[in-house]
Amino acid sequence: MIKGAIVIDTERCKGCAVCTEACPKQVISISKKVNGKGYNYAEAVKEEDCIGCASCAVVCPDGVISVYKVKL
């Protein structure tokens, strides 16, 4: 079985939320916390549901999401 995992560079995230809309599994949510630039950043809240489809990484205008596929 293949599972996905994502890493978000939260310091470079602008909180635009495009990735939260793009994810078919609602893995990503915008945090109530802010990064060093004052943006509410994206975070993986249900990473166990990630299927590694990379939709989030494709739509992110700043390319701050990395997607990994993990073999279980």
Binding of ligand SF4 at residue 60 (CB under 6 A)? yes
| Residues 9-38 as x/- pattern, contact with ligand SF4 by CB under 6 A | ----xxxxxxx--xx-x-xx----------
The reply to whether 43 sits near ligand SF4 by the rule CB under 6 A is: no
Instruction: Name the residue among 63, 69, 71 with its Cα closest to residue 42.
Output: 63
What is the amino acid identity at position 72? L
Are 52 and 35 in contact by the 8 Å Cβ rule? The answer is no
Is beta strand 28-34 parallel, antiparallel or unpaired with respect to 2-8?
A: unpaired
Would you tell me which residues interact with ligand SF4 (CB under 6 A)?
Answer: 4, 6, 8, 13-19, 22-23, 25, 27-28, 42, 50-56, 60, 62, 64-65, 67
